[in-house]
Amino acid sequence: MNLLAQEEILIVDDNPANLAVLSQVLKSVGLKVRVATDGTSAIAQSEYDPPALILLDIMMEGIDGFETCRQLKANLKTQLIPIIFITALEDTEDKVKGLSLGAVDYITKPFQALEVLARVQVHLQLQLLAKKIIQQNQELEKANQQLQYLVNFDGLTQVANRRHFDRYIQQEWGRLQREKQPLSLILCDIDYFKNYNDYYGHPAGDDCLKKVAEALKNAVKRSSDLVCRYGGEEFAIILPNTDLAGAIKITQLIQLTIKELKLVHDRSPINKNITVSLGISSEIPHQQSSVKFLINAADTALYQAKEQGRDRYHLFP
């Protein structure tokens, strides 16, 4: 019992003698005890400060033990508290009724101290085990979420990685093909990033990538849009339910957001600050086309933007 000594038991009984005897039995092994003399106050106590376990008399004035149990089990704040009925009723039907309402056990009057302690100990241990399982499940869920994040997001820039890009664009292609709605893609490349990295060093280059990724996220507002690190200094933005005109507006906003960063680039032959080149493709998915075509189209448009002098966007075709 020592391991369970910090647990608190609520005894609910309208008979002062029963309360006194049960309290003495439980306190004798170090358990904390509080009492309620009616079902209404027991419910209020349990909701405000849930006990580890409730010993509940069935025959009480006002609402009886059955109704008290029913209300406790119907309340999200108290439904997981184990309830042991204490009763002089011997009828099997009454016991079945109590168990069907959610009670975990019965103690029959006149009760024996050793039996009370044994049953209380068992259910406290079960409750502690249940709490540990819930905690472990929560920790496992948190670990799974962290793992999913590591699998799907780029560790440096904190945007989606190439794996996530591949899966998401396939998913949206299939959905929008069924819905006959447009899907747009923007490929974005930091201009003369190798020069930047060589001159300022890799730590500065990493910081630049992070700031550009953050700027891209700020330019893309909808939860369905996805910013990805496509590779190296290249990013991709997937825009479901967005036509070419909408994609152009996003691209122009990206250009403005990058410009506002004012990241100095002394080794750029075209601008004193960091700039980007962008390629845009847009299509209503259909069976005669493919995700590969959409990606290749954006890549071709990006190449043309670079060929035309960089720090600009180009549309496909």
Tokens describing residue 130: 């249940």
Which pairing describes strands 105-108 and 183-190: parallel, antiparallel, or unpaired?
Answer: unpaired
pLDDT at res. 243: 96
Q: Which CATH class is domain 2-137?
A: alpha beta
Measure the CA–CA gap between 225 and 202, rounded to whole angstroms.
29
Domain ranges of the chain: 2-137, 162-315
The closest alpha carbon to 72, from 97, 95, 47, belongs to 47
Pick the CATH number of 162-315 from 3.40.50.300, 3.40.190.10, 3.20.20.70, 3.30.70.270: 3.30.70.270
Q: How far is CA 43 from each of CA 28, 55, 120, rounded to the nearest angstrom?
A: 26, 13, 20
pLDDT of residue 112: 85
Residue 154 and residue 160 in contact, taking contact as beta carbons nearer than 8 Å: yes
Give the position of tokens 């376990």: 53
Instruction: From first to last of the 317 residues of the chain, give the pLDDT tens digit.
Output: 454 557 899 999 988 888 999 999 999 888 899 999 999 999 999 999 999 999 999 888 889 999 999 999 999 999 999 999 988 776 777 778 888 888 999 888 888 888 888 889 888 888 888 888 989 999 999 889 888 888 999 999 999 999 999 999 999 999 999 999 999 999 999 999 999 999 999 999 999 999 999 999 999 989 999 999 999 999 999 999 999 999 999 999 999 999 999 999 999 999 999 999 999 999 999 999 999 999 999 999 999 999 999 999 999 97
Residue 269 CB neighbours (<10 A):
10
* Residue of 233, 234, 260, 283 with catalytic role: 233
d(CA 110, CA 253): 79
Separation CA 213–CA 207 (nearest Å): 10
Residue type, 224: S
- Specify whether 233 is catalytic: yes
- pLDDT at position 5, please? 59
